[in-house]
Amino acid sequence: MRLPFVALFLSVVVSLAACGSAKAQSPATDSLTAALRALARADSPLPGFAVAVVDSGGTRYAAGFGLADRARGTLFTPATVQQIGSVSKTLIGVALLKAQELGLLTLNAEINSLLPFRVVNPHGPYRPMRVLDLATHTSGVLDRAKPYLATYQWFPRGTAFTFDSAIASPGHYAPAALAAWLRAYLVPGGRYYRAANFAPAAPGAAYCYSNVGAALAAYLIEVRSGLSYAEFTRRHILTPVGMTSAGWTLAQVRAFPHATGYRPTGKPYPPYFGLTYPDGGLHASTLDMAAYLRHVIRGAQNGRDALLTPVSFRELLRPRFQPDSLPTGVPVREPNAGIFWAMRPDGDIGHVGSDPGVFVACFFNPRTGVGRVFMTNVDFDDNPAAAKQFAAVWRTLGQFSAQLGPGY
């Protein structure tokens, strides 16, 4: 999930709070840890963070710095779990390709041939929306701020938080909530339905980043598989990859160390859930994301991975926009896209996630075969100092990554 007003992947400079753990010692990794610690300062705007560098052979470096919870003094380590925001959308891409392998749908299928209700852009007539349009943010489905922000279900204020009490709270995710909310937003007569929920553009003609469109793509998998999206991804992604501390609900991750999310002011956020949870609600650790990225890198390099077939990996990561017929509004910083995987001018493929109390970046370069993961427990909205520190860390990880590939 990503708030509509959050900027995508801010790019600037500076430093970081150190103190934590590092995995794998060597002169190169020791140098990287020293460089990250050298960036530190006592008043860092990042409460805590963890990073990883990974290739097809495994996690080459993982380290944590700062605090997962300031009040308790809990360290932020690579095993610390938090929500990963819109990086969750990359799993929708993988899940769609797995569903296609299983014969449940195709990327070129019209969504109204799969749904139990009809979704029609009222600004038309236009051609029908396809699964591929949802997966490349060109369907015309928009995130209207007021109803979309209401999908964030906050744990009641003024009560002591425990995982058990949060799990029992009225706002906790229920499987039927996703379908009910999508119907209310996308179908005429629904509580949140407005013409403004859609762009005045034909599918494929305009790029409009859409959390709702992503959630709708995930719901297609529920409809066709007969499983909740959470269960489908557990069976076909989380378990095969070995994302052992990842899950879609607090109930699934309460056994693992969890970060508290903070505002830029330093005030903690209460826990929250998202009714459109597939678009940004996965809880995972840096080690989980490193394992996931390793499988994707392996598939991108030679297609030989249990996650997807070689054909599916090519479909997942193939650029979908043609230079001579780009949709309007394609972002300069991400001028092309695979299936919910963004592509940057430097060749990196991946996604960022920004939500209340979190910022995550997860990218790999198919030329070098090396990927990077960054996770922190503060959001970057109206927080330029944190964005500057992230940029310095990301650049430092990139310098280390260059030592690994190609041919490491």
pLDDT tens sequence across 174-220:
557 899 999 999 999 999 999 999 999 999 999 999 999 999 999 99
Answer yes or no: is pLDDT of 145 > 80.
yes
pLDDT at 359: 98
Let me know: does 133 contact 339? Beta carbons within 8 Å: no
> What distances in angstroms separate CA 393 from CA 33, 35, 326, one per listed residue?
11, 9, 33
Strand, coil or helix: 255:
coil
The pLDDT tens digits for 229-284 are: 999 999 999 999 999 999 998 888 888 999 999 999 999 998 888 999 999 999 99
The token duo for 172 is: 């906790």
Q: Which of 211, 257, 200, 236 is nearest to 20 (CA)?
A: 257
For the segment 346-369, the average pLDDT, to the nearest whole number, is 97
For the segment 106-129, the average pLDDT, to the nearest whole number, is 98
pLDDT at 13: 26
For the segment 39-56, the average pLDDT, to the nearest whole number, is 86
The token duo for 272 is: 């929250």
Whole-number percent of the chain with pLDDT over 90: 76
pLDDT at 157: 55
Range of the domain at 345: 22-402
Quote the mean pLDDT of the chain.
Answer: 89
User: pLDDT class for 153, splitting at 50, 70, 90?
Assistant: confident
Strand partners, 274: 152
Whether residue 306 is contained in a domain is answered as yes
User: pLDDT class for 161, splitting at 50, 70, 90?
Assistant: very low
Whether residue 350 is contained in a domain is answered as yes
Whether residue 8 is contained in a domain is answered as no
Whether residue 4 is contained in a domain is answered as no
DSSP, res 113: G
Whether residue 16 is contained in a domain is answered as no
> What distances in angstroms separate CA 249 from CA 171, 216, 255, 275, one per listed residue?
12, 19, 12, 11
For the segment 389-405, the average pLDDT, to the nearest whole number, is 88
Answer yes or no: is pLDDT of 100 > 90.
yes
User: pLDDT class for 26, splitting at 50, 70, 90?
Assistant: confident
The length of the chain in residues reads 408
Residues 6+ away with beta carbon under 8 Å from 226? none
Other residues' Cβ atoms within 10 Å of the Cβ of residue 287: 26
Instruction: Give the whole-angstrom CA distance, residue 136 versus residue 57.
Output: 30
Q: How many domains does the chain have?
A: 1
For the segment 272-300, the average pLDDT, to the nearest whole number, is 96
User: pLDDT class for 58, splitting at 50, 70, 90?
Assistant: very high
pLDDT at 1: 60
pLDDT at 171: 46
User: pLDDT class for 167, splitting at 50, 70, 90?
Assistant: very low
Instruction: Give the whole-angstrom CA distance, residue 294 versus residue 300.
Output: 10
Residue type, 88: S
pLDDT at 310: 95
The backbone torsions φ and ψ at residue 48, rounded to the nearest 5 degrees and listed phi first, read: -160, 165
Candidate from 131-140, 243-252, 360-369 with smallest mean pLDDT: 243-252
Whether residue 1 is contained in a domain is answered as no
For the segment 305-332, the average pLDDT, to the nearest whole number, is 95
Whether residue 223 is contained in a domain is answered as yes
The token duo for 85 is: 């925001």
Residues of the chain by 3-state class (helix, strand, coil), percent to 5: 35, 20, 45
Whether residue 9 is contained in a domain is answered as no
> Which domain CATH number covers 296?
3.40.710.10
Let me know: does 82 contact 407? Beta carbons within 8 Å: no
Q: Which of 386, 162, 135, 177 is nearest to 277 (CA)?
A: 177
Q: Which of 377, 370, 299, 279 is nearest to 98 (CA)?
A: 299
User: pLDDT class for 227, splitting at 50, 70, 90?
Assistant: very high
* Cis peptide upstream of residue 406 (ω within 30 degrees of 0): yes
pLDDT at 407: 44
For the segment 223-234, the average pLDDT, to the nearest whole number, is 97
